[in-house]
Amino acid sequence: QVHLAESGGGLVQPGGSLRLSCAASGRIFPGYTMDWFRQAPGKQRELVATIITGGSTHYADSVKGRFTISRDNAENTVYLQMDSLKPEDTAVYYCSMVTNSVRSWGQGTQVTVSS
């Protein structure tokens, strides 16, 4: 079983930055993928960014050039650096890991972009 603990959410003004962290613990197998999803009120959960074992990344078009996903393999931690934030980035952000073909989820952290 994998436990994911997110941190770093909060309230920020448009144009500002936040850095989310997600620490994984438990039965983690080599070669895992880590993702950040988000869900805004009344909307479906959407994939924001992915990073695989080798370091390759993928971003949703809506965040390309503004968000950066990275990972620390030694600490089993993934980060999401969010810059130039917009009100439409407001959502609950979820960390997710796929290891040994099993997907696990964090509890989510609220990000609110508002003046």
Q: Is-contact 2 24, C-beta < 8 A?
A: yes
Is the pLDDT confidence value at 55 over 90? no
Q: Is-contact 49 59, C-beta < 8 A?
A: yes
Q: How confident is the model at residue 53 (pLDDT cuts 50, 70, 90)?
A: confident
Pairing of strands 109-113, 10-12: parallel
R_g over Cα of the chain: 13
Q: Is-contact 46 37, C-beta < 8 A?
A: yes
5 vs 106: CA distance, rounded Å: 6
Percent of the chain with pLDDT over 90: 81
Beta bridge partners of 93: 38, 109
In this prediction, residues 94-102 reach a mean pLDDT of 91
Least confident range of 2-6, 65-69, 72-76: 72-76
Q: How confident is the model at residue 29 (pLDDT cuts 50, 70, 90)?
A: confident
Roughly how many angstroms between the first and final C-alpha of the chain, as a whole number? Answer: 40
